[in-house]
Amino acid sequence: MQANSEPGQLTCRRADFDLPEDLVYLNSAYMGPLPRAVRDAGAAALARRAQPWQLGAADFFEPAERVRAQCATLVNGDAESIALVPTAAWGLGCVAAQIQARAGQNIVVLGEQFPSNIYAWQPLIAQGAHFRVVSAPNGEQRAARWNAALLEAIDADTVLVAMEQAHWTDGTLFDLTAVGRRAREVGAWFVIDATQTVGVMPLDVHAVQPDALVAHCYKSMLSNYGLGFAWYGPRMQQGRPTEQSWLLRQGAQDFARLVDYQDAYAPGMRRFDSSTRANPVLIGMLEAALDYMSGCGAARIRTYLSAISRAFVEGVRTRGWRVADESERAPNLFGLQAPKGTDLERVRTLLAGLQAPKGTDLERVRTLLAQRRIHVSVRGSVIRVSPHVYNTPNDFARLLDALGHL
Ligand SMILES: Cc1ncc(COP(=O)(O)O)c(C=O)c1O
Give the mean model confidence (pLDDT) for residues 257-285: 97
Asked whether 170 lines ligand 1 (CB < 6 A), one says no
Asked whether 193 lines ligand 1 (CB < 6 A), one says yes
Mutate to test the pocket of ligand 1, among 196, 223, 378 (most ligand atoms within 8 A of CB): 196
With a pLDDT cut of 70, the percent of the chain lying above it is: 92
Residue ID of nearest Cα to ligand 1 atom 3: 195
Count of beta carbons in the 10 Å neighbourhood of residue 350: 15
Q: Reply yes or no on whether the pLDDT at 1 is more than 50.
A: no
**Distance (Å, whole) CA 197 – CA 27:** 13
Asked whether 164 lines ligand 1 (CB < 6 A), one says yes
Give the mean model confidence (pLDDT) for residues 320-331: 94
Q: What is the pLDDT of residue 320?
A: 84
Q: What is the pLDDT of residue 399?
A: 93
**Distance (Å, whole) CA 360 – CA 68:** 42
Q: Reply yes or no on whether the pLDDT at 144 is more than 50.
A: yes
Mutate to test the pocket of ligand 1, among 28, 167, 168, 282 (most ligand atoms within 8 A of CB): 168
Q: What are phi and psi of 134, to 5 degrees?
A: -100, 100
Q: What is the pLDDT of residue 340?
A: 57
**Fold classified for 14-26+297-405:** Aspartate Aminotransferase, domain 1 (3.90.1150)
Q: What is the pLDDT of residue 319?
A: 85
In which band, very low, low, confident or very high, does the pLDDT at 351 lie, cut at 50, 70 and 90?
very low
Q: Reply yes or no on whether the pLDDT at 2 is more than 50.
A: no
The predicted-structure confidence for 100-115, as pLDDT tens digits, reads as follows 999 999 999 999 999 9
The predicted-structure confidence for 33-47, as pLDDT tens digits, reads as follows 999 999 999 999 999
Give the mean model confidence (pLDDT) for residues 265-292: 98
Pick the residue with more confidence: 253 or 354?
253
Give the mean model confidence (pLDDT) for residues 327-350: 71
Domains 14-26+297-405 and 43-295 share a fold: no
Q: What is the pLDDT of residue 92?
A: 98
**Fold classified for 43-295:** Aspartate Aminotransferase; domain 2 (3.40.640)
Q: Reply yes or no on whether the pLDDT at 286 is more than 80.
A: yes
**Distance (Å, whole) CA 263 – CA 244:** 11
In which band, very low, low, confident or very high, does the pLDDT at 350 lie, cut at 50, 70 and 90?
very low
The full set of domain ranges for the chain reads 14-26+297-405, 43-295
Q: What is the pLDDT of residue 6?
A: 63
Quick one: 164 exposed, middle or buried, by C-beta within 10 A (0-12, 13-18, 19+)? Answer: buried
**Distance (Å, whole) CA 320 – CA 394:** 21
Q: Reply yes or no on whether the pLDDT at 357 is more than 70.
A: no
In which band, very low, low, confident or very high, does the pLDDT at 338 lie, cut at 50, 70 and 90?
confident
Q: Reply yes or no on whether the pLDDT at 381 is more than 80.
A: no
The predicted-structure confidence for 159-209, as pLDDT tens digits, reads as follows 999 999 999 999 999 999 999 999 999 999 999 999 999 999 999 999 999
Give the mean model confidence (pLDDT) for residues 347-356: 44
Residue 82, Ramachandran bin (φ over 0: left; ψ between -120 and 50: alpha; else beta): beta
Distance from Cα 226 to the centre of ligand 1, integer Å: 11
Among the ranges given (75-89, 248-262, 297-311), the one the predictor scored with the smallest mean pLDDT: 248-262
Q: What are phi and psi of 218, to 5 degrees?
A: -105, 10
Classify the C-alpha dihedral 369-200-211-104 as positive or negative.
Answer: negative
The predicted-structure confidence for 57-95, as pLDDT tens digits, reads as follows 999 999 999 999 999 999 999 999 999 999 999 999 999
**Distance (Å, whole) CA 323 – CA 86:** 33
Give the mean model confidence (pLDDT) for residues 260-285: 97
In which band, very low, low, confident or very high, does the pLDDT at 130 lie, cut at 50, 70 and 90?
very high
Give the mean model confidence (pLDDT) for residues 210-220: 98
User: Which residues on neighbouring strands pair with residue 133, listed in sequence order?
Assistant: 109
Q: What is the pLDDT of residue 8?
A: 84
**Distance (Å, whole) CA 166 – CA 172:** 5
Asked whether 332 lines ligand 1 (CB < 6 A), one says no
Q: What is the pLDDT of residue 382?
A: 81
Q: What is the pLDDT of residue 301?
A: 98
**Distance (Å, whole) CA 285 – CA 291:** 10
